[in-house]
A and B are shown apart, each in its own frame.
Chain A
Amino acid sequence: EAQVTQNPRYLITVTGKKLTVTCSQNMNHEYMSWYRQDPGLGLRQIYYSMNVEVTDKGDVPEGYKVSRKEKRNFPLILESPSPNQTSLYFCASRDATTMKETQYFGPGTRLLVL
């Protein structure tokens, strides 16, 4: 089954404690992205990657890091989380070889930073 998986699904942490949210896709997609969803703001892109070792900032990259060492994985790293990073996070992937813009989203990770 084609899918994007994220782990963990729920996470409660404290300010300053480094954390990583993993994302993996099994569709051999080139493009992968991270978004955060906040009330009244919709989905905002944090970082995106066009392929292995190619990443770039989205609209709200501050406080986040990413890496793309393998095509299937795109982890999101919060080196020193702060309460304003409490949010719902989605990973997404897309095939770069098709004209279709359809993105496939993971189920989401709900993060609470105390």
Chain B
Amino acid sequence: DQQVKQNSPSLSVQEGRISILNCDYTNSMFDYFLWYKKYPAEGPTFLISISSIKDKNEDGRFTVFLNKSAKHLSLHIVPSQPGDSAVYFCAARPSGSARQLTFGSGTQLTVLP
């Protein structure tokens, strides 16, 4: 049973437009959420995170929104650039846990020039 779900395996957007990647979770104990970006033949790299005490966190072109009541978070990329084409993983961690993260299955984003 996947506790972190990314229901869209792929997404294509035009350069300059907004990319919205979605993630749902089922474990109400999760209190910290992250997005990782992965290029082919490389390991994932950290992109942006959000704590459950916030509902929005912004870093340049990247914004993460958290809706705790819906157990949903989303990553917005504005404007999208061809270099953003990668697999994006959503991840979450429960409060008080020393364990590492639970990841979603990933969404392949393709930004078309």
Contacts and interface: CB of A to CB of B under 8 A. Distances in A.
A90 interface: yes
A41 to B, nearest CB: 6
Contact of A40 (B43, B89, B105): B105
Contact of B89 (A33, A42, A104): A42
B99 A45 contact: yes
Contact of A42 (B41, B93, B105): B105
A77 to B, nearest CB: 19
Main secondary structure of the interface of A (DSSP, over half): strand
17 contacts: A31-B98, A41-B105, A42-B4, A42-B105, A43-B44, A43-B89, A43-B103, A45-B99, A45-B100, A58-B99, A59-B102, A92-B43, A101-B34, A102-B49, A103-B100, A103-B101, A105-B43
Contacts, number: 62
Contacts of B104: 42
B59 interface: no
Interface residues of B, number: 26
Interface string B77-95: 0000000000001010100
B9 A40 contact: yes
A31 B44 CA distance: 17
